[in-house]
Amino acid sequence: MTVEYSILIKDGFIVDGLSTQWRRADVGIYEGRIVKIGRISTSKADLVIDARGLIVAPGFIDMHSHSDITALIYPEANSKVYQGVATEVVGNCGLSPAPVNRNNLSLLKQYLDSFFGKISEYLPWTWLTLKEYYEKVANQGISVNMVPLVGHGVIRIAVMGFETYKPSRGELDSMKMLVKQAMEEGAFGMSVGLTYPPGLFTETDELVELARIIGEYDGLYASHIRDEGSNIMNAIMEAIRIGREANVSIEISHIKVMGRKNWGRSSEIIKAIEEARKSGVNITADQYPYIAGQTGLYAILPPWVHEGGIRKLLERISNPTIKDRIRKDMEDGVNGWRSIASEIGWDNIVIATTEKNKFIEGKTISQIAELWGLNPLETVFKLLRDENGSVSIILFYGCEDDLKNFLSRRWVMIGSDHNGIKVGEGPLGGIQHPRAYGTFPRVIAKYVREDILLSLGEAIRRMTSLPARKLKLKDRGILREGMWADIVVFDVLKLIDKATYQNPTIYAEGIEYLLVNGIPVIDKGKHTGAKPGKVLSRT
């Protein structure tokens, strides 16, 4: 008998990414695409996957990832594929590997290192544009698909470094040209990181002008908003304003409420977003299922300290007079800015990764301050100096009620806010936030199976067809004939996130199979080493 299918997934429970209903059926795959869903004879397939008792769903789409920065280091994206992730939206929070201005390359390297450790030392830096970078990624091979955004912060560094002033007309035109070039090269949109330099130096009018270009290409504006604590409503309204004035689709990145005194404000945020949606603004959000986040320690310092980049920052925190000014601004705030430290307290800031002070990893700033006989802010200064600005922290900022309130909204997707990495290897192989390893299984294990906040079908819709629709991916995110065969097969009763804050470097369990473009990446619970992923293009 003639073979009609390269792979047949047999007798699984189909959750197609749209409907909340399950149905038992077979899925036939040929040349990377789904060619039939129904009853299919096993004799017509080269390879048969026995999915009896298992869920068969579209491969998950990570709506907020940073794996572009590490794709050349961790091409197999182990931490993601063990979660069932087939596609990642990358270039978030204003960070992307390009465009590169050789004159400001040292600033860009310092910037990325402040987030991701000494990552710049692992990269060859042979590219200038997004196109050149992703050609390198594609040539090496990747295990997942990537949907690239261009980072506003990286564009601003290329044009003006870490200057705090409003750009001249010529500088703004240069930034607009780089945004347009990225969109022409296939980027799906632009991201901003407005709590980080240089994004925090940016006025709204600049963002509107750049976002208009994104809107002209029917692209996405993904916003790490300007404040997630006391001034969060102003930050949300700024994003809505940009969406309205630039006529651009808005994604609020890792939506949250930061700081005990702000707990409970999720309802007013939801109300503002839903009113904007009713008025015609295309605004949605993504979220990770944890009440702690991760960032660079430098980010807790006042905006003006960051002018000129990390090296200038290190000079300032060594000057006694300037340190006094920093201390005052940390306590009182400045020009509407409030420090993360003042929002959540030193007891809730934990050191994740360092290079020279490994013995303090896992300890709070308060604990380290007591150990060293310093006050908390002097402890921060010492850490940043010791580590040349590269210290990663975990922030315990939120409450479960706000998390659940956001997660219950049908317009909220799932994003890990982390890189695809491998346990014990490379610059990010050590202590990280558990979201790197557990985000997607945790949504199902805790909020579907345990708390019954979402149905399985609704959770899968948030991870598949909803982000695919937002990104205008017409042939992914749904189990349907003709679609690319990005498919995850898992045991809904066994799927579990194993990573914790105390022991975060553990892969999730329960993903039996993951197909990316019709090729098995996970087979019987193990990574095959295959790299069938594609760098997707908007064009």
Q: Which amino acid is at 286?
A: D
Whether residue 266 is found in the same domain as residue 319: no
Whether residue 285 is found in the same domain as residue 319: no
Q: Confidence band (pLDDT; 50, 70, 90) for 224? A: very high
The answer to whether position 342 is within a domain reads yes
Whether residue 249 is found in the same domain as residue 117: yes
User: b/e for 352-390, b at 16 or more Cβ within 10 A?
Assistant: bbbeebeebeeebbbbbbeeeeeebbebbbbbbeebbbb
Compute, in degrees rounded to 10, the torsion defined by CA atoms 369, 331, 117, 432: 70
Which residues lie below 8 Å from residue 253, measured CB to CB, with a gap of 6+?
64, 92, 93, 191, 222, 223, 224, 225, 285, 286, 415, 417
Tell me the three state secondary structure of residue 276.
Answer: helix
Whether residue 403 is found in the same domain as residue 521: yes
| 492/535 Cα distance (integer angstroms) | 30
Residue 473 belongs to domain spanning: 60-291+398-526
Closest residue by Cα to residue 63 from 289, 297, 294:
289
**Mean pLDDT over residues 437-454, rounded?**
98
Strand-pair category, 292-296 with 392-396: antiparallel
CATH number at residue 250: 3.20.20.140
Question: Total domain count for the chain?
Answer: 2
Spacing of C-alpha 455 from chain mean position = 24
pLDDT at 100: 97
- The residue from 379, 396, 413 where one domain ends is 396
Provide, rounded to the nearest whole percent, the portion of the chain with pLDDT above 70.
100
Task: Say yes or no to pLDDT of 537 above 70.
Answer: yes
311: its two tokens: 């090296």
Closest residue by Cα to residue 176 from 66, 91, 241, 99:
99
The answer to whether position 387 is within a domain reads yes
- The residue from 396, 431, 452 where one domain ends is 396
Whether residue 72 is found in the same domain as residue 188: yes
Which of 118-122, 284-288, 510-514 is least confident? Answer: 118-122
pLDDT at 426: 82
Residue 111 CA: distances (Å) to CA of 162, 275, 303:
10, 37, 15
The answer to whether position 19 is within a domain reads no
| 161/163 Cα distance (integer angstroms) | 6
Q: Confidence band (pLDDT; 50, 70, 90) for 154? A: very high
Closest residue by Cα to residue 91 from 112, 120, 122:
112
pLDDT at 429: 77
Whether residue 222 is found in the same domain as residue 286: yes
The answer to whether position 42 is within a domain reads no
- pLDDT, tens digit, for every residue of 127-141? 999 999 999 999 999
The answer to whether position 33 is within a domain reads no
**Mean pLDDT over residues 325-353, rounded?**
94
Whether residue 409 is found in the same domain as residue 517: yes
Whether residue 348 is found in the same domain as residue 415: no
Q: At what angle do helices 376-386 and 365-372 cross, to 10 degrees?
A: 90
DSSP letter, residue 523: E
pTM over 0.95? The answer is: yes
The answer to whether position 344 is within a domain reads yes
The mean of the pLDDT values for the chain is 97
Q: Confidence band (pLDDT; 50, 70, 90) for 105? A: very high
Q: Confidence band (pLDDT; 50, 70, 90) for 430? A: confident
Task: Say yes or no to pLDDT of 1 above 60.
Answer: no
Whether residue 273 is found in the same domain as residue 375: no
The answer to whether position 21 is within a domain reads no
355: its two tokens: 């290079």
Whether residue 392 is found in the same domain as residue 402: no
Whether residue 392 is found in the same domain as residue 405: no
The answer to whether position 414 is within a domain reads yes
- The residue from 369, 396, 423 where one domain ends is 396
Whether residue 331 is found in the same domain as residue 261: no
- pLDDT, tens digit, for every residue of 184-197? 999 999 999 999 99
